[in-house]
Chains A and B, each alone.
Chain A
Amino acid sequence: MDNSIKKQKIILTAALIIGLFGLLLILEQLLPSSSMLFVVLKKGAIYALAVVSMNLLNGFTGLFSLGQAGFMLIGAYTYAIFTIPLEARDMVYQYFDGGIIKFALPVIPAIILSGIVTAIFAYLIGLPVLRLKSDYLAIATLGFAEIIRAFFQWDKLGPVTNGSNLLKMYPVFHSVIFPFAVSGICIAIIVLLINSSYGRAFKAIRDDETAAEAMGINLARHKQISFTISSFFAGVSGALLAMFQTTVQASAFRATMTYEILLIVVIGGIGSVTGSCLASFLFIACSEWWLRFLDNTTYIGSFKVPLLATGFRKVFFSVVIMIIVLFYNRGIMGTNEFSLDALIGFFRKRFDRHRKEDTAA
């Protein structure tokens, strides 16, 4: 590819990114901070990272793992445990004499640490589990997630985890820029990985393990790499989620969370990062904001609209998801990604067609 064209693309991409952040900044000035839009943007960005990291593992490497919630849990707890300020520790760990950890890390190192700790857990879990066939891998990882959840609620570990009590008082973010920036950087790294030689190796493993091995790709090592890196970012997304929710409790990280993330992966398209990001925002927007009305008992005059009541939103949602899974199982984007080339090509085609029609007429 021409160097000048390459440069143009880089500048264009950079401009788009700067434009996006500029837009966010402007929105923050204009709208009240309690607006639902910001809730959706913040949670959407966090889930985008969680979904992309799961897509890396399930969609790009073909490893059907259901342990996501467990890894997010580890990340969330690691962040919270290591950032609760000293003054607050006694109150938070009230049943455990202020807990064992008597120091606090600054935010960014803590987030990185949460990723690292999660990756370490993932590495150890991966050793026995990655050899298993796909169905068994799914159940084994699900099982590990449940074991992790039980451990983090165990009273004996209270001095570290606060047992079954929630963790709070740790530093949180206020601006929507923060989660976007952190998720954005992480997703960018994942995209770099996917487009690298290792990404190709992962896709080869997904397509045909036997052939991949015959081409010199060590299955165990590469599966382990994919698993560990995916979990690192799952841990980071857990830390961000902890910051967003301002309190963390192990019992919230159930298998349902993993199922939701998996369903978002499917909606966006297994094997498409763009799809995962779009679907995350769509999902969060629908479930937190747009479809809220489905939950409210509405009356038109004195006529009670049937079906609309608490919980209908999720039922509606589940039906939509089933329709996508059954009929559109390639998701929104299939395996395609957003690319400037495609966008420009699309416009060029329309332009050419117009010109042809003009000259023909």
Chain B
Amino acid sequence: MAFIEENLPYILAGISVGGQYALIAIGYTMVYGILRLINFAHGDLFMAAGFMMVYLSATLPLYIAIPLVILLTVILGFLIERVAYKPLRKAPRMSVMISAIGVSYFIQNSAWYITSGLAKQYPTIPVISNSINVLGSTTTVVTVITPILTIVLVAALVALIRYTKIGMAMRAVSRDFETSQLMGIRINTVISYTFVIGSFLAAVGSLLYFTNYTTVTPTAGSMPGLKAFVAAVFGGIGSIPGAVLGAFIIGICENIIKGLGWTTFYDAFTFALLIIILIAKPSGLFGEKSTDKV
């Protein structure tokens, strides 16, 4: 009990950032489930959303800027898929991954160019950046909202996948890409939907994340992106609840590590976790083992 009390600020921070990782992780796991592609550019999309907010909020009122940021992020995600991944759908897997790396490289360099390398401050969004007191420790409202919002969005998404036609199409495509096409499922629509949903969640995630960690730099997306991917792998690639659970675990553990004073290994922890899971159970917590037919 005392442990929790001492480390409460860290645990709360962990739950908060865990939720934000979760929103990013869902994008990874959905895209991987359907295209077997690690979308290296997803983390940078998250970062781009942050920058968009910085620039838009300077000229527009927040109640316009926020929806506009979300809309633009979704459009950007959609465009990335159309321009960089769709043409390579028949190419070997390595080519698409290299394309994703190329897109990531492009987005980061563009961000650097537009900002001339100066870090930008994220605007303060009223209400959610207010401090509140939770169980004796002071934190921001974001920290409380994030896990709730995450769970609500995830529940909505799971419902969408289970009860709607497009959701069924998504499930079919992630099982068997080719046969789904033969059965008349419009692959391009399904894939676009996947990217749209993933980008939407990433945009929401960036709103919450940058309210807490207000400095936005061109590389601000790579670490959260990688960690979100690890969360997806940990939970079982293709499983949305798994990705969410993995993200919360990573968020909480890494903040506890910070609390214990091992700050240098804050990032490395996630990768150590990745390697352990890849060796022990590559299919992740909730993943299924697939047998290859020769």
Measured CB to CB, the residues of A under 8 A from B are 58, 64, 128-129, 132-136, 138-140, 142-144, 146-147, 150-151, 153-155, 210, 255-256, 259-260, 262-263, 266, 270, 309-312, 314-315, 317-319, 321-322, 325-326, 329
Q: Is the CB of B98 within 8 A of A139?
A: no
Q: Is the CB of B106 within 8 A of A151?
A: no
Q: Is the CB of A322 within 8 A of B102?
A: yes
- Residue pairs across A and B with Cβ atoms less than 8 A apart, 24 shown, are A129-B275, A132-B282, A134-B93, A134-B94, A135-B38, A138-B38, A139-B274, A140-B274, A143-B271, A143-B274, A146-B268, A147-B271, A150-B264, A259-B101, A312-B113, A314-B109, A315-B106, A315-B110, A318-B106, A321-B102, A321-B106, A322-B106, A325-B98, A329-B95
Q: Is B229 an interface residue (CB 8 A)?
A: yes
Number of A-B contacts (CB under 8 A): 120
CB-contact partner of B113 in A133, A150, A151, A315, under 8 A: A315
**Closest chain A residue to B294, Cβ basis:** A210
Measured CB to CB, the residues of B under 8 A from A are 32, 36, 38, 83-84, 87-88, 91, 93-95, 97-99, 101-106, 108-110, 112-113, 116-117, 222, 226, 229-230, 233, 264-265, 267-268, 270-272, 274-275, 278-279, 282, 294
User: A128: which B residues are within 8 A, CB to CB?
Assistant: 275, 278-279
User: A210: which B residues are within 8 A, CB to CB?
Assistant: 294
**Closest chain A residue to B265, Cβ basis:** A150
Whether A315 contacts B101 in the complex (CB less than 8 A), given A151-B268, A326-B88, comes out as: no
Q: Is the CB of B113 within 8 A of A309?
A: yes
Whether A309 contacts B116 in the complex (CB less than 8 A), given A147-B271, A155-B264, A325-B95, comes out as: yes
Q: Is the CB of A326 within 8 A of B105?
A: no
**Closest chain A residue to B262, Cβ basis:** A154
Q: Is the CB of A144 within 8 A of B271?
A: yes
In whole Å, how far is B36's beta carbon from the nearest beta carbon of chain A?
Answer: 7
User: B294: which A residues are within 8 A, CB to CB?
Assistant: 210
Q: Is the CB of B97 within 8 A of A311?
A: no
Q: Is the CB of B271 within 8 A of A322?
A: no
Q: Is the CB of B230 within 8 A of A143?
A: yes
User: A138: which B residues are within 8 A, CB to CB?
Assistant: 38, 97
In whole Å, how far is A327's beta carbon from the nearest beta carbon of chain B?
Answer: 8
How far, in angstroms, from A260 to B267 measured CA to CA in the complex? 22
User: Besides A136-B278, A139-B274, 8 other CB < 8 A contacts?
Assistant: A129-B275, A140-B278, A150-B264, A154-B264, A311-B117, A312-B113, A315-B109, A326-B83
